């Protein structure tokens, strides 16, 4: 089944039935992402059970690597878009369906952030010791 869809950005895309649900046909959007016309937020599905894998999104949007995908998601999150992720199989990125999903995501980010800050403190202490000795 093919449908046309207009994204918030105004881009017209065709939707094609796929094993993970409807996908935006790559022939219609091979370079739109690079022009900033299609946001990842716009192609994600609601609920953890509908999470789209990084590889799937990378191919769908014609991105060169999963790192480029992660950077775009980071940028969209910084703009206020709430894009959740799960590493529990099958894992992937999705939009929140209920408050418990958002709470779980917040807890994950807080845990990751505290571990990052602890590593940063250790690096700063070592640098300080080296600079005092040198």
- Tell me the per-residue pLDDT of 93-128, one tens digit each, with 9 for 90 and over: 999 999 999 999 999 999 999 999 999 999 999 999
Distance CA 42, CA 9 (A): 9
Query: In terms of Cα–Cα distance, which of 87, 15, 16, 77 is closest to 51?
Result: 87
Query: What's the pLDDT at 76?
Result: 96
Maximum Cα interatomic distance, the chain, rounded to a whole number of Å: 69
Stretch 49-74: mean pLDDT, rounded?
A: 93
- Tens digit of pLDDT for each residue in 12-41? 444 544 444 545 444 444 444 444 567 899
Give percent above pLDDT 70 in the chain.
72
- Whether the pTM exceeds 0.75: the reply is no
């Amino acid at each position: 089944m093919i449908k046309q869809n207009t994204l918030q950005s105004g881009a017209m895309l065709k939707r094609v039935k796929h094993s993970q649900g409807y996908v935006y046909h790559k022939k219609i959007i091979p370079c739109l992402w690079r022009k900033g016309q299609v946001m990842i937020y716009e192609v994600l599905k609601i609920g953890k059970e509908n999470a789209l894998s990084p590889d799937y999104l990378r191919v769908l949007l014609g991105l060169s690597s999963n790192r480029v995908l992660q950077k775009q998601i980071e940028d969209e999150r910084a703009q206020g878009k709430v894009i959740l992720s799960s590493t529990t199989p099958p894992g992937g990125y999705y939009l929140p369906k209920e408050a418990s999903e958002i709470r779980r995501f917040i807890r994950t980010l807080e845990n990751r952030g505290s571990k990052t800050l602890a590593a940063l403190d250790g690096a700063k202490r070592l640098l300080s010791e080296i600079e005092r000795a040198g």
